[in-house]
Amino acid sequence: MILSAPSKSADAPIPSFDQIPCPILVTDSAGVVQSLNQDLLLLIGSDKERWLTKSMELMFPMASRIFLHTHVWPMIFRDGQVREIRLQLLDSGGNSLPVFVNCQKTSQEGIDRFTWVLFVTIERSRFEQALLESRQRTENISTALTKSEAFIRGVFEATSEGIMVTDSDATIISVNPAFAKLTGYSQEEVIGQNARILKSDRHDADFFLATFEILQKNKIWNGEVWSQRKDGSIFLGQLSISAICDQNDVVLQYVVLCSDITERWDREQLIHQMALHDGLTGLPNRTLLMERLGQIIAKSQRDSRQIALMFLDLDGFKKVNDTLGHSIGDEVLKTVATRLSSLLRNTDTVARLGGDEFVLLLDNPENSEAMAQIGARVISIMNEPMQFDNAEAHIGVSIGIAVFKDRTSSPEALLKRADEAMYAAKAAGKNVYRFAE
C-alpha cells in the first residue's frame, strides 16, 4: 500500500481575486496552491510567489490539517462543495486565527479547480470558544503523535476508511480499526513494521519511485494501488497519502487513507469484458479483433512484419443444431474456441464474429507455407469428433486466408478479402482453405 498521485496542474488561466475584500485561494485536487489574493497574503504573510505550488496545508496548524484530510476534502470530493467549516489559519506571526472555510469545485476543459473563500470571525459563542480551545489542545498533543497511539485512535476510530500513520521512513506508528478490517493485520502486528508489508507484486519499482517523488514535491499523493492482505489476497485501494511537515517543511509523518474499491474495479472489468468479448466462448469479438488488427497494422508501418487473417466458417454446424439441438450446438462452438486457442501463439488472436464464424489473426507468420500448415492443422482438429454425454458431433471448416500486403489497406478491407477467400473454399467443396487473390 502506498500513496497516490495528485492531479496535474491546470494550464488554463486562473482569475485574479484581488478586488474581492476577503481571503481567497485556488488549488488543484491535491491542495497545491495555484492562485491567492492580496487579502489572504496580508493575513498569512510572505509574497505570492512563495506560496504558488506549495500545499495549502502549510497555512493551517496541525489540528486543522488533520480535519482537512478526514472531513473537509472527503466532503468536497463527494458533494463538490463545503460551507461554513470552522478551522484555524496561521497568521503571519504564527498565531491561530479562527476562520470559516467555504470551498467550491469547478471544472474547465476537464481540469478541476477548487476555490476557497475564508471569512475571519472574531466574536465567538461559548460553544465555539470551547471548540477552538479543544482544537488548540489537539494541536499540542499532535507534537507527540508518534508516542500517542491513543490520540490517533480517538481521532480516526469512527471513520470507515483505513488509516495508517507512519514516520518519515514509512515505519508504521499506528493504524485504525478500519485498517485492521481491510488488511487483516491487527494493530499489534503492524506497529514497527515498514509499510512495505502491504506491497503486492502488481507494481514495479518505477511505480513506487515515481509515487514518492510526487509525494516529496507536493506533500500529497492520490491514486489507486494494489496491496496485499495478511492472508495473501490482493485488493485495490483508493489511497490518499499526505505528508505532515514541521515549520521548516521537513516531513515528520505520513498519513495514509485507504478505501477498498476492488468490487467497483471488478464491475468495471466485467463491463469491459462483456463489451469486447463473445458471451458464449469468451473469445474476443469483432470490436476487439478490429482494434488489435489496427494496432498490428500500425506496428507494421514501423517495422517489416507479415500479417494474415484466416476467416473460418464451420461446415455442417446447421445440421448439428437441427439434429442434436441448440444446447449441443453451443457446446460445439465452445469446443471449437478451445481447440483453436490451443493451436496459436500468445501473440495471435482467435475471435468469434458471431454464429459459426471465427477469425484467426496471425501476427508475423513466417511465410505462406507456414500459414498453409496452420490452415491444414485447423481443418484436422475441426474434423475430430466431439463427444458430449450421449451425443457425438461432426463438423468441418472452410477457411479463407488473406495476407496484408498493401500498407494503405484498412483492417476492414483485409477482413473482406479473407471472407471472400472463405467463400472460394466453400465453392471448392468445403473443408479446405484458399488464399485470397
Q: Binning pLDDT at 50, 70 and 90, where does residue 380 land?
A: very high
CA gap 301, 199 in Å, rounded: 40
Judge contact between 167 and 146, C-beta under 8 A.
yes
Query: What are the Cα distances from residue 107, in Å, to 39, 207, 223?
Result: 25, 28, 19
| Cβ count near 105 (within 10 Å) | 15
Beta bridge partners of 164: 175, 256
Judge contact between 131 and 227, C-beta under 8 A.
no
pLDDT per residue as tens digits for the range 383-432: 999 998 888 899 999 999 999 877 667 889 889 999 999 999 999 988 99
Sheet strand arrangement including 349-354: 349-354, 357-363, 307-315, 396-403, 433-435
Domains of the chain: 6-141 (3.30.450.20), 144-270 (3.30.450.20), 277-435 (3.30.70.270)
Q: Binning pLDDT at 50, 70 and 90, where does residue 107 land?
A: confident
- Give the number of residues written for the chain: 437
292, 294, 296, 299: CA torsion to nearest 10? -140
Burial of 421 (0-12, 13-18, 19+ CB in 10 A): buried
Instruction: Provide the pLDDT for residue 1.
Output: 58
| Residue with the three cell numbers 458431433 | 393
pLDDT per residue as tens digits for the range 314-344: 999 999 998 889 999 999 999 999 999 998 8
Instruction: Provide the pLDDT for residue 93.
Output: 86
Calculate the average pLDDT of the chain.
84
- Percent of the chain residues topping a pLDDT of 70: 87
Q: Which residues contact 250 (CB under 8 A, 6 or more apart)?
A: none
Instruction: Provide the pLDDT for residue 399.
Output: 94
Judge contact between 211 and 5, C-beta under 8 A.
yes
Q: Which residues contact 129 (CB under 8 A, 6 or more apart)?
A: none
| Residue with the three cell numbers 467443396 | 429
CA gap 257, 237 in Å, rounded: 9
Instruction: Provide the pLDDT for residue 12.
Output: 53
Q: Binning pLDDT at 50, 70 and 90, where does residue 200 land?
A: confident
Is the confidence at residue 142, as pLDDT, over 60? no
Q: What is the 3-state secondary structure (H, E, C) of 105-143?
A: EEEECCEEEEEEEEEECCCCCHHHHHHHHHHHHHHHHHC
pLDDT per residue as tens digits for the range 266-291: 777 777 667 788 888 989 988 888 88
Instruction: Provide the pLDDT for residue 108.
Output: 80
Judge contact between 343 and 381, C-beta under 8 A.
yes
Mean pLDDT of 141-161: 59
Judge contact between 220 and 55, C-beta under 8 A.
yes
Instruction: Provide the pLDDT for residue 263.
Output: 83
Element (H, E) at 68: none
Cell of 399: 477457411
Is the confidence at residue 11, as pLDDT, over 60? no
Mean pLDDT of 130-156: 60
Q: Binning pLDDT at 50, 70 and 90, where does residue 15 land?
A: low
